Each structure stands twice: as structure tokens, then as C-alpha cells.
Amino acid sequence: MKKDIHPAEYRAVIFEDVTAGKRFLIGSTIATEEADTWEDGKTYPLYKVEISSASHPFYTGQAKTIDTAGRVEKFKARTAAAKAKAGKPAAAKDKKAESASKK
């Protein structure tokens, strides 16, 4: 490996996927406050992630909904409100058409 091409903060970091429970030891410059012991007995900085290749549906081949911020519920509420709003004008047009045909 070439010398002096990596930043000074470059070191091995444990990335822990909190969804799948998997851990990876990878070189990184990410700032962390936690540390943990790896399989080799050495202590490394620890960084927790919500999604990695161990839990992402593209890599696992399984459709899994991971919602830590309530985004799915917000999306469902918006779509329900949009459908309800879109349904009202159509009903009003139908009533106008019925009254016009009765005349």
C-alpha cells in the first residue's frame, strides 16, 4: 500500500448494524465516542448504523420494513388524506350531473 495517502485519522472502526446484529471491522475516518472489543481481542472505535449490507433488502433479498422515525405511518397518513381529498370533488361532480339530468 502506498504511504501518506490516507488521512491522519484513518484507523480500523467497528461498524455494528443494530437491525441485524452484524458487525464489520473496516478502515474509516468517522468520529466515534464509543469503543468495543473485536474478535481479535483488541479495542476499536465503535459506530452503530441502522442499515448495512446485512439488513438492506437489496442484499438480503427479503422485503423488510425498517422504520425508526415513523416515516411509514406519515406516508400512509398522507396518501389516505390525498385519496380522501381526491374522492370529494368526484362525488360533487356526480351530484351536479345527477341534478342536471333530472331537469
Taking the domains of the chain in order of start, what are their residue ranges?
1-66, 70-103
pLDDT (0 to 100) of residue 71 = 80
* Residue 25: pLDDT band with limits 50, 70, 90: very high
Return the closest-CA partner of residue 48 out of 12, 21, 10, 83: 21
Higher pLDDT, 20 or 34: 34
Amino acid identity of residue 76, one-letter, is K
* Bridge-based pairing state of the strands 43-49 and 11-17: parallel
- pTM > 0.85: no
* Grid cell for residue 59: 442484499
